[in-house]
Structure 1
Amino acid sequence: MKKRIFDSVSFKLVLLLITIIMMLTMASFIFNSQIENLKKHIDKIYFGNFVPVTNLQNISSSYKDMIICLQNKEKLCSIKKSQKVIEKNWNDYFKGYKTNQERKVVNSVNEDIQVSFMDKNSMKYTIMIQKINFLIEYEVKNAKNQRVDFLNRYEEMKKLLFYNIIALVIFSFAIFIYLTYSIIKKDNHLTILNKKYKIESITDSMTMLYNRGYFDTIFDSIPAVSNANKWETAFIMFDIDFFKQYNDTYGHDMGDMTLKAVATELKKYFNKEYEYVFRLGGEEFGAILFDVDQEILENCLKAINKIIEYLRIEHKSSKANDFVTISIGAVIYEPGSNISPNRLYKMADENLYKSKQNGRNQYTI
């Protein structure tokens, strides 16, 4: 289930990353298109406003017409008409966009044009033609320089856009990696917590042995496991002798410490595969040993009796010994015997009772 959830989240993250990359690609395409349109528009502006050659050429042609009129003294030509053409074209040109540097040059020519209209002088008209031609060359040169500057800026803008897109892609990948790491970390954390809670759910908090709930699960499976594998299986019950009197004498804190000490020894001893140790409740413990025979079991129980006694935990109120001891009742399930778990438990409990009746600190199989 967790794998499906993680796979689903991973798919969503990949989908998110693909979506971001597609959006960035589309944005890049749109931006590039807009920049190209801007370039074309700027070209029109430069060749339309920065290079108003038509107006200046009309002015130059009009001055030439005026010179011809003066030189040939033609009756049909009109200097005033040419002046109006010059004024109209000059006003259009003069009102157009000019840089600060251009404006200075244009202003000086503007004064000369006004002076040229005061009297009819072919020499002045010739000088004005030269100045207008100068303006034409000046405008063309200036426009070229401006366009080169624009193209440089245009390339810088494209590079900047490219770098920004690369940065956004890297940033998107970083977010993706961070989110993936966070989810994996969270998933690992949840896995650890689940394992922890699972362990805690089957573990007795005081002794750290398996608890009664987990005992019921394992114990009920004894007939099925034993029959399937043709194993003899031992169920053992341990009870600390005169534990109530121990608590009354030494207090419950010392009683808890004794429970932990006994539990630790049982856990250390029964630590092989298919060996399970439980706290059944109070001072009572249990063990299930799969694939064991009576000889091995008897040697184990003898050893356990000695190990607990050798702990040398003082127990003055015990009638069995000066130190803490345990009584043991055990039963072996024979494969195919079809004894129920309930009956098996009662048989072990009866054997435990026999050990107590016979003086304690001993076992009965």
Structure 2
Amino acid sequence: MKLQLFKSVTFKLILLVLVVLFSLISASLLFNSQIDRLKKQIDNLYFGNFVPIIKLENIQDNYKKIISCRTLKYICDFKKEKEIILNEWDYYYNSYKNKKERNVINSIDVALKETFKVNKLYKFKEIVKKIDFLIDYETQSAYKQRKFFVEDYKTMKDYLFFNILLLLVLTFAIVAYIIYQLVKKDNQLRILNTKYKIDSITDSMTQIYNRKYFDTIFDNMTFIANANKWECAFIMFDIDFFKQYNDTYGHDLGDVALKKVANALREYFNNKYEFVFRLGGEEFGVILFDIDYDILESCLKEINQKVVDLGIEHKTSEVLDVISISIGAIIYEPNTYISANKLFKRADDSLYKSKHNGRNQYHIYKGK
């Protein structure tokens, strides 16, 4: 069961990590595409508008030189001016233009090339005006594109901000969920582990400590008593004529009777340093630390009566018409160094004396 739980936790963690990685990769690709788009807009704005305006101004200046030469009638290098104009125009004409801009430029392209074929002064003056129009057009276009760019940039900035914020929230939520699942599973495993530990030391039917746990506590009883300078007691209980009870009422009711007696013992011996065990069958044991003879005797009288007061019918008992118990106990004094086996035998002998003397009574062995 632990292995299956661990595999389930591992699978969920791997799945969550993959989701986080996918989210981060997707967000990165999205952000990169938006940044590339922003870069393209910047390129279009500066290289598609600012540089061509310089080219147009160069073309205009060279046309003005040609006009000055013709008007003032002085010698100028017409061929060189023509070459410069055509080169600058070729650069401008082949630069990036949208469809609307291309329609405007195409008409001017025809007019510009016609000036050198006709070679008339009025043609040069007309083309200067058209170039001047182009400069204004490019300036206005650049202004509009910048305006659109600023709006897009602001929208994109907000978009990126909210996406980053969303990613942070998502990442935080996923991490919080992972932590929650880990804590939850850890608590479940801790609870299961505690349950397994409790189950390993608990009698499944009566829900008091089992014989295995008794052996652990009993084997260390003398060491605990010696270390703390405590007197301690070991008590053995046996239900009187329990075989006859089972024969008369059946094992199901026998189990019910055992649970009731065990519960009575557990409720009575419920203080710190008091341990109640089922030793086997209808036999129970109790270990009490830091106790003296008078208190022990008082306890045995009271618990003996409490079992009788349960009023569990037992018609085949030779003592009473209800279930009763016989009790044997021993007091251990610190630093007497009696072995655990000897203590158990003395308590068992005390129990035997209670039975031999008529049952439904207690006997305490006190000695070194």
Tell whether the structures are fold-level matches, with TM greater than 0.5.
Answer: yes
- 1:203 Cα shift? 1.1
Is the Cα contact below 8 Å between 1:203 and 1:209 reproduced in 2?
Answer: yes
- 1:164 Cα shift? 3.5
Whole-angstrom distance in 2 between the partners of 1:68 and 1:335: 129
Whole-angstrom distance in 2 between the partners of 1:299 and 1:321: 22
Ranges in structure 2 where 5+ consecutive residues have no aligned partner: 1-19
- 1:349 Cα shift? 0.8
Question: 2:259 matched to which residue of 1?
Answer: 260
Question: 2:134 matched to which residue of 1?
Answer: 135
Is the Cα contact below 8 Å between 1:318 and 1:324 reproduced in 2?
Answer: yes
User: Per the alignment, do residues 246 and 43 of structure 1 end up closer, same or farther by CA in structure 2, a change over 3 Å counting?
Assistant: closer
Ranges in structure 1 where 5+ consecutive residues have no aligned partner: 1-19
User: Per the alignment, do residues 58 and 337 of structure 1 end up closer, same or farther by CA in structure 2, a change over 3 Å counting?
Assistant: closer
- 1:155 Cα shift? 4.6
Residue identity opposite 1:197 in structure 2: Y
Within a 5 Å distance, the mapping from 1:298-317 to structure 2 comes to 298-317=297-316
User: Per the alignment, do residues 222 and 54 of structure 1 end up closer, same or farther by CA in structure 2, a change over 3 Å counting?
Assistant: closer
Q: Quick check: 349-358 or 79-88, which moved more?
A: 79-88
User: Per the alignment, do residues 293 and 45 of structure 1 end up closer, same or farther by CA in structure 2, a change over 3 Å counting?
Assistant: closer
SS at match of 1:305: helix
- 1:112 Cα shift? 3.4
Question: 1:3 matched to which residue of 2?
Answer: none
Is the Cα contact below 8 Å between 2:312 and 2:322 reproduced in 1?
Answer: yes
Whole-angstrom distance in 2 between the partners of 1:221 and 1:107: 107
Is the Cα contact below 8 Å between 2:208 and 2:277 reproduced in 1?
Answer: yes
User: Per the alignment, do residues 322 and 100 of structure 1 end up closer, same or farther by CA in structure 2, a change over 3 Å counting?
Assistant: same
Structure 1 vs Structure 2 CA RMSD: 3.4
Question: 1:211 matched to which residue of 2?
Answer: 210
User: Per the alignment, do residues 220 and 118 of structure 1 end up closer, same or farther by CA in structure 2, a change over 3 Å counting?
Assistant: closer
Kindly indicate whether residue 332 of structure 2 is the aligned counterpart of residue 333 of structure 1: yes
TM-score, L = length of structure 2 = 0.79
Residue identity opposite 2:131 in structure 1: I
Residue identity opposite 1:53 in structure 2: I
- 1:131 Cα shift? 1.2
Residue identity opposite 2:57 in structure 1: Q
Question: 1:273 matched to which residue of 2?
Answer: 272
Whole-angstrom distance in 2 between the partners of 1:283 and 1:107: 112
- 1:141 Cα shift? 2.7
SS at match of 2:336: coil
Whole-angstrom distance in 2 between the partners of 1:281 and 1:344: 18
Whole-angstrom distance in 2 between the partners of 1:59 and 1:72: 20
Whole-angstrom distance in 2 between the partners of 1:232 and 1:47: 98
Is the Cα contact below 8 Å between 2:44 and 2:96 reproduced in 1?
Answer: no
Within a 5 Å distance, the mapping from 1:215-254 to structure 2 comes to 215-254=214-253
Question: 1:105 matched to which residue of 2?
Answer: 104
Residue identity opposite 2:310 in structure 1: L
Is the Cα contact below 8 Å between 2:232 and 2:287 reproduced in 1?
Answer: yes
Residue identity opposite 2:231 in structure 1: E
TM-score, L = length of structure 1 = 0.79
Whole-angstrom distance in 1 between the partners of 2:125 and 2:97: 25
SS at match of 1:221: helix
- 1:269 Cα shift? 1.3
**How many residue pairs were aligned?**
338
